[in-house]
Amino acid sequence: MARDKSEQKTVNTSLRLTAEQKTEFEKRAKAMGIKISSYIVNAAWNSNELDPKTKVKMQNILNFTENIVKEYAPEQLPELKSKRAELWSL
Amino acid sequence: MVIIKVKRDTYGGLRYLKNALNYLEDGEKSLFTGGFGVVTTPLEDTFAQMVAVRKYFGKLSGNPLMHFIISFDDKVVTLDHANILAEQLTLFFRNEYQVLWSVHFLQRGCSNFHVHIIINSVSYINGKMYHSSASEITRFKDYAACVLNSDVRWFFA
């Protein structure tokens, strides 16, 4: 399925970096399995947001917690669920 | 013999993702639902969390999901056993993708249980799309054969 036009990357620009910055960004991009350009764009575009990898980790912890709360303190579930919504808005 | 049916939508977009999640959580058919990187209920939250990952990486369009339906053979006769196997099968995807799975009961031939596994096709690690090539599906098939200790066949639905 073709990507929507609004998500197609059709413009480019160049960046000036220090050698150290380039080396570091390349290292981080490689660790994630993506190109340096994707790494920089993702980081800058989402600079005010928690990354999905962290949210997924925290959601899994919440899922585990929810099972315990369900069993031992079910009256607290609504509050736990509202905290969950907060996480995904970070 | 275990059968894996593989569904990949290329037309329905996020609406298809929502419909697929809906089907998994169907109260009449679903005996157990599990999730990794997402909540299992309510459905709106599961959907929102998958969309959030896609939005972060600028990939709201494109193939929204991969849907695997694994029909267990007659060695699997209890729900507990089906649940354990379902969870083990989803381990294959969890390092990179959000997963929702559901065990359904349906007596069909030699099979009593089958599991639906839906993965958000955008990786939460790096935003790359799941590559649904035959070789990639075969990797999962081989993994499933080890987990299930059974012959496994797969096909695109």
Q: How far A17 CA lies from chain B's nearest CA (Å)?
A: 23
Q: Is the pLDDT of residue A82 over 90?
A: no
Residue of chain A with shortest Cα separation from B126: A32
Give A-chain residues touching B10 at CB under 8 angstroms.
Answer: 1
Query: Is the CB of residue B1 less than 8 Å from the CB of residue B8?
Result: no
Give B-chain residues touching A66 at CB under 8 angstroms.
Answer: 39
pTM: 0.91
Residue of chain A with shortest Cα separation from B12: A1
Mean of the pLDDT values across residues B122-145? Answer: 94
Question: What pLDDT band is residue A2 in, cutting at 50, 70 and 90?
Answer: low
Question: What pLDDT band is residue A4 in, cutting at 50, 70 and 90?
Answer: confident
List, in sequence order, every residue forming a beta bridge with B4; answer none if it has no partner: B70, B154
**Closest CB from B11, B37, B59 relative to A7:** B59
3-state secondary structure of B101: strand
Query: Is the CB of residue B65 less than 8 Å from the CB of residue B130?
Result: no
Report d(CA B52, CA A49) in Å as an integer.
11
Pairwise CB contact (< 8 Å): B56 & A1: no
